[in-house]
Amino acid sequence: MKLKKIWCVLLILVTVLGVWLLQDYATIESARRDVLMMDTFVQLIADGRRANVVLDEVLAEMKRLEALLSAHAVGSDVYRINNAALTKVTVSQETIDVLLIAKDAFNRTGGAFDVTVGAVLKVWGFGTDDRRVPSAAELTEAMSGVGFGFVEFDAAEKWVRLNHPATRLDFGGVAKGYIVDRAVELIAARGVEHAVVDAGGDVRVRGGRPHTQRWRPARLARVGVQHPGDREKLIAVVKLMDGAVLTSGDYERYFIADGAAVADAIATAVMVLGKDEGLALIEAWPEIEGLLITAGQEIIMSEGMAAMTELVKD
């Protein structure tokens, strides 16, 4: 009789545990959002607890950061800095974060990546519907303020000052990657196990992709690299569990790293440096791998890239 009671208790415990596990399993959701923001198409895919609610929160945060870091949004931190040259401007922690990334990238690329080119972009009409070829005098004036040495900021007190009247900031080469990074960090903080954030070629993967049978281990995410000569084709597929994948220019440069903001900045720098110096920069930067496709369709990979890359044959 006692043995029977013990088995009954065990059966009840097993049943209760099974119900609890099924309830926990039922909370796993799959969600997807496709939106236009940051002047590109953004896709978010998430698999985890409350994925739909989390993605709504993530999109709201991404839009907040875009409004904060855009040089063209009236009232943004960057707008206020650019319109208060020679004067200190109190800014957000996010702006300080981006400036720290930008300063590190400027130093490590020998100035090839520089967020102080805002005035140059403006005279060319980038970021507007009025593209034009500027005069030599306009370019000379705009170039006079280019150089990170003209940027003064205090990370602790959170203020920024431009020390040249022609200096203007533009975070276009780093802000998108930074926003993608922050999106994935928020997704992780909310307990979502698997996610992909793709912002027009800036891709960040968390936890790979789940199997349809949830009890099986996650599989590597596959990120395609568009063929530079045919947008309907892929030239390579990169497989990874966690990290950032980024293409730059007209799909001639491709990078993989732990953070999209850093890869964003490096991609811009390599476009400036060219094949040889660019590859040397990638090799010298820890946790960065790169694939370069030249105008002549030559494919060059950094050491370590081949292990995670599958070239697509015609």
pLDDT in tens, 34-70: 999 998 999 999 999 899 999 999 999 999 999 999 9
State the pLDDT at residue 22.
45
Top-confidence range, 178-187, 212-221, 228-237, 240-249: 178-187
Compute CA distances 94 → 56, 159, 221, 242, 313, whole Å.
20, 12, 29, 23, 42
Q: What average pLDDT does range 125-145 have in this prediction?
A: 82
Q: Parallel, antiparallel, or unpaired: how do β-strands 230-240 and 309-311 relate?
A: antiparallel
The residue assigned the tokens 């545990």 is 17
Q: List strands edge to edge, sheet with 89-90.
A: 89-90, 159-162, 151-154
Compute CA distances 171 → 37, 64, 168, 197, 235, whole Å.
15, 15, 10, 20, 29
What CATH number was assigned to the domain covering residues 71-162?
1.10.3980.10
Confidence of residue 256 (pLDDT cuts 50, 70, 90): low
95-56-210 Cα angle (round to 5): 105
Range list for CATH 3.10.520.10 in the chain: 28-56+175-311
Range list for CATH 1.10.3980.10 in the chain: 71-162
Better-scored residue on pLDDT, 131 or 101: 101
Q: d(Cα 238, Cα 240) in Å, to the nearest integer?
A: 7
Confidence of residue 17 (pLDDT cuts 50, 70, 90): very low
Of 210, 205, 275, 272, nearest in space to 240 by CA:
205
Q: d(Cα 280, Cα 263) in Å, to the nearest integer?
A: 15
**Residue 176 pLDDT greater than 90, yes or no:** yes
Structure tokens at 265: 């900045």
- How far does Cα 285 stand from its chain's mean position? 17
Better-scored residue on pLDDT, 170 or 272: 170
Q: What average pLDDT does range 219-237 have in this prediction?
A: 83
pTM: 0.83
| Element containing residue 260 per DSSP (H, E) | helix 260-273
Strand partners, 152: 161
Q: d(Cα 58, Cα 106) in Å, to the nearest integer?
A: 29
* HSE, side-chain direction, 13 A CA sphere, residue 255: 32
Compute CA distances 227 → 12, 176, 205, 213, 253, whole Å.
59, 22, 21, 33, 11
| Element containing residue 11 per DSSP (H, E) | helix 2-26
State the pLDDT at residue 13.
47
* The residue type at 24: D
Q: What are phi and psi of 20, to 5 degrees?
A: -65, -40
User: Domain 28-56+175-311 is classified in which CATH homologous superfamily?
Assistant: ApbE-like domains (3.10.520.10)
Q: What average pLDDT does range 220-229 have in this prediction?
A: 84
Average pLDDT, the chain: 85
Determine what percent of the chain falls in helix, strand and coil, rounding each to the nearest 5. 40, 25, 35
Top-confidence range, 23-32, 119-128, 173-182, 232-241: 173-182
Q: What average pLDDT does range 157-183 have in this prediction?
A: 95
222-226-230 Cα angle (round to 5): 145
Give the relative orientation of helices 93-108 and 51-69 as an angle to the nearest 10 degrees: 70
State the pLDDT at residue 254.
57
